[in-house]
Amino acid sequence: MRRMLLLGCLVALCVGTALAAEPPGDSIYQLEIPLQGSDGTTTKLSDMRGKPLLMTLFYSQCSSVCPMLTARLQSIESQITARDRHNVTILMISLDSERDTPQALATFRHEHHIEGSNWIVARADAGDVRALAAILGIRYRELPDHSFNHSAVIALVDRDGVIKARADGVLGADAAFVQQVRSIAAQGRP
């Protein structure tokens, strides 16, 4: 028993030490981007370090690509074990920082049946969104009617903030991508 306790403390110390160190140079957690969630609370992107992310950009008034992107994320989530789902944060950040208020984001969550505490639907300042889009490989532009033309990319980010894979498009859940999500989610188990 004493040996197991000592081993547990050593593992906890090592995990704590690994997260206390600076994130790698190619980590998205190098960015101190404030995110305002659909519940109105603000957190920083760097605060999400320690859990893998499935991350994309969207906007709440989108009637074509974004609902399909949301459904694809839900499909991916449904293909990982319940235990591992809690190890993955699904982060959707709005392209429309002007119009996507916390209330608009909450409405989007409700309309698209986004449930679970591991889902974060948030907004950030326009400049921060532009930086994230560049890092994630998402191209977008606002049109005169305030809709957005944008690519559909889901990024798989490991617990240190390093992008490990990207899924392009909105159709189906690519089996190889889902397998990568499963693998990284299992690594995040406590």
Q: Would you list the domain boundaries of the chain? A: 23-187
Query: Terminal CA-to-CA distance of the chain, rounded, Å?
Result: 19
Please report the pLDDT score of residue 22 as a whole number. 63
pLDDT digits (tens, 9 = 90+) for 94-123: 999 999 999 999 999 999 999 889 999 999
Please report the pLDDT score of residue 13 as a whole number. 34
Asked if residue 156 has pLDDT above 80, the reply is yes
Candidates 143, 78, 73; CA nearest to 112 is: 73
Asked if residue 182 has pLDDT above 50, the reply is yes
CA distance 127 to 114: 26
Provide the β-strand partners of residue 119.
90
Asked if residue 170 has pLDDT above 90, the reply is no
Looking at the domain 23-187, which fold is it?
A: Glutaredoxin (3.40.30)
Phi, psi of 45 (to 5 degrees): -55, -40
pTM of the predicted structure, to 2 decimals: 0.84
**Local structure of residue 145 (DSSP, 8 states):** T
